[in-house]
Structure 1
Amino acid sequence: MAAGNRWDVGPDAVVTVGPRTYVSPDCTVVSTQGVSIGADCAIGWGVQIVDDDFHRHGSGGHVPDGPSSAPITIGDHVWVGSRAMIFKGVTIADGCIVAGGAVVTRSVEEPRSMVAGSPARVVRSDVDWT
């Protein structure tokens, strides 16, 4: 883990980071449920990983569809580019690449896929990075 990261982990959350994974400076991990980052991952500068949208049910307010929080799972050997954002309930399969600046709101189920954009979508399959 590099200096300057923010790890805000709730009392019931479990956050795990696999061996040989590097989290670059200025990253933020906010977890009320759980975040799992696999082995051999590269997390770029300024990445945000947040498993909660903090939209609580209130009297007279909008009630969001679905839960306000859900665990995030990042598989083994995943490269997350700088300034990408990964949100609640997302699972990223092994060997994937998340392009810099991507906003990942849905799971990436196919291993070795590359996703980019906002919202992120698969732009390439069968990728390999070393």
Structure 2
Amino acid sequence: MIIKDNDPYTSASFSLTHRVRRQIWNIICLLLFKPSPRPLHAWRAALLRIFGAKIGKGAHIYPGTKIWAPWNLVVDDYVGIADGVTIYNMDIIRIGAYSVISQGAHLCGGSHDYNSQNFQLYAKPITLGEHVWICAEAFVSLGVNIPDGVVVGARSLVTKSILEPWTVYAGHPAKQIGQRTRSES
């Protein structure tokens, strides 16, 4: 998907096919996704599926969500993604069942290599387990895996994978601040 060793100052970082596909998605998003009434979750899920997203049943993706490439999005059952969320999915982003991504959160799957002469663009996947809550305005960086049951506090910065499930993380960078009690109800 990303063109390697190009000169980003004079040429595109993505193939023409990829850029056209993204532009078509942007038009559909502007005309049909964003203006859709908030309760029409099934409508937005259908639009995302048309563009290659894998969306589970009961997913609530709100119209103010910004999704860069639907074909790189996997959302399991009963996931909630709030208005103002940015899903910059240059690589696959997977969100496990019963997870919540709160308003203003940013899942960032792409960056630039600051040591390369041309600031080479690169991408890595992000994986969120089941029952994960990414709180308001938190930032999750590329290549991060978050296991089941983890809560990432508001405005936290997650740059490394979290290893322990059912924990609470917060801060810059995010550090473990608590343990969750796993409810069976």
TM-score for the superposition, normalised by structure 2: 0.61
Is the contact between residue 56 and residue 68 of structure 1 (CA under 8 Å) also seen in structure 2?
Answer: no
Q: Which structure dedicates a bigger proportion of its chain to strand?
A: 1
Candidates 2, 5, 29, aligned match of 2:87: 29
Q: What's the counterpart of residue 141 of structure 2? A: 87
Q: What's the counterpart of residue 53 of structure 1? A: 111
- 1:62/1:39 CA distance change after superposition, 3 Å: closer
Deviations 1:18-48 (A, max 9, x none): 1100001010001111100000011111110
Q: Secondary structure at the match of 1:124?
A: strand
Deviation at 1:55, TM superposition (A): 3.6
1:1-130 to structure 2, matched below 5 A, reads: 1-9=61-69, 14-55=72-113, 58-59=116-117, 68-128=122-182
Matched residues in 2 for 1:74 and 1:26: separation?
19
Matched residues in 2 for 1:36 and 1:62: separation?
26
- 1:78/1:22 CA distance change after superposition, 3 Å: same
Deviations 1:58-86 (A, max 9, x none): 53x678xxx93211000000011100010
Deviations 1:92-127 (A, max 9, x none): 000010101001101111110110001111111244
Matched residues in 1 for 2:63 and 2:182: separation?
28
Aligned-residue Cα RMSD (Å) equals 2.3
Runs of 4+ with deviation above 3 angstroms: 54-59, 126-130
How many residues get paired?
A: 124
Higher relative contact order (CA 8 A, sep 6+): 1
- Gaps of at least 5 residues in structure 1 are none
Is the contact between residue 96 and residue 127 of structure 1 (CA under 8 Å) also seen in structure 2?
Answer: no
TM-score for the superposition, normalised by structure 1: 0.85
